[in-house]
Amino acid sequence: MRGFETREIAKLTADGIIRSIDHVTSESPLSIIVESENHGRHELGITMRTEGHDNLLSIGFLYSEGIIATSRDIDEMIVEDNQIVFKLNDGALFDPVQHCRRSTVTSSCGICGRSNISNVLTDFNVDLDEDMHIRLETVAKCLNSVIGKQEVFSKTGGSHACASFTSDGTIDRVFEDVGRHNAFDKLVGSYLEQGGSFGPGLGAFVSGRASFELVQKTIRAGFPIMIAVGAPSTLAVDLAKEHGLTLGCFAKDQSITIFSGVRRIGN
C-alpha cells in the first residue's frame, strides 16, 4: 500500500479557482481482535490507521498495551481486510477488563476508550541504557534523514513519522501513519516480529509533539532517548523524569530543548 490516495480539489488563489488533483494520506479502520483460552474472543477496539504494515502495528499495539511481552506470546495471527485476529497462548497477560476499548481509537488518540486508568500509569520494569549518548550533530542528522524517508508526508503533508536511530544519528528504520501512536506501534512491532530487541544503542524519534502516551511507549520499548520535533506535555516530562528517559523536544538543526535526562547529552 502506498499510504495515500488522490482526490479532486478546488484551489482558491488570487487568480481565481483552479481545479486539480491532490494527494491525501489514507485513513481507514482496523479492528484488532484477540482470542485466549481463559477469556475467549474479544475486540480490543478499532483504530483509524494508514494502511500498510497492519501486522506490525497490531503487534506493537499489543506490546504497548502490556498484553504481550514478546511475539512468542502469539500462537497465530490471522490477517484479513481491515481486521487482524490474534490467538494468544498462556504467556500473554490479556485482561478484557483492562485492555478492551469502549470506543474507536482515532488517529490522534493514544488511550481513548479505556474504561479505567488503572493500567495507564503502569510501573515499568525497564532499565534504560546509560551508555547511549548523543550530540547536537546527532539531532541534525536524524532530522534530515527522517524527512528524506517520509514518502507519504512528501506527497501529502499529512502523516506522522516515528523512527529509531543510533548515537551518530543514523536511522535504523522509520514508519509513517496518519496517527503518531500508530507509527510508533509499527516501529515497535517491526522489532518484535523479528524476535529482536530495541537496543541497546537505539533512540526513538517522533515527528510531532511528545505526548504522555508516546513517552510511555518509548519507556515500555526500552529506548533511553526520545527526540521530538514538537512540544511535550507536563505528564510526559514527569513520566520521563521518573523513569530516567532523556527527553529532547523542539528539535532543530542548531538546537534542542532537554526536559529530562541531560546526562546523555554531549557538547
Give me the active site residues, please: 109
| DSSP state at residue 233 | P
Neighbours of 5 (CB within 10 A): 15
Measure CA 26 to chain center.
17
Residue 222, classed as helix, strand or coil, is: coil
Longest dimension (CA), the chain: 66
CA distance 181 to 120: 15
State how beta strands 225-228 and 246-249 pair.
parallel
Q: Tell me the β-bridge partners of 86.
A: 34, 77
Contact status, residue 96 vs residue 43, Cβ threshold 8 Å: no
